[in-house]
A = this chain, B = another copy of it.
Amino acid sequence: MRARVTVTLKREVLDPQGEAIRRGFDALGLQGVREVRVGKVIEVELDDAVADAPRLLREAADKLLANPVMEDFAVEFIGPEGTTTK
């Protein structure tokens, strides 16, 4: 089973790395970019036999991967044909 945890800064938190990328896009000739936000993506490959994997993975992501003061996270499970469930 494959899962993907995406960790992003909360909307109200400033993202200077994203702003630097926005200026870089501008310098490269890609104009009209309003905003860029940078986050992390954590791809997890699990044994199919793990019981209760969605709950365990959400708990582990909450404790280990995201800082709840500044970040939000989302967990998606990727099916065999690339379909995703949240």
Contacts and interface: CB of A to CB of B under 8 A. Distances in A.
Interface of A: 6, 8, 18, 21, 24-25, 28-47, 49-50, 53, 56-57, 59-60, 63-65
Contacts of A53: 30, 32
B32 A36 contact: no
A60 B28 contact: yes
A25 to B, nearest CB: 5
A30 B57 contact: yes
A75 B31 CA distance: 17
A25 B43 CA distance: 13
A17 B41 CA distance: 12
Given A21-B64, A30-B60, A56-B30, A43 B36 contact: yes
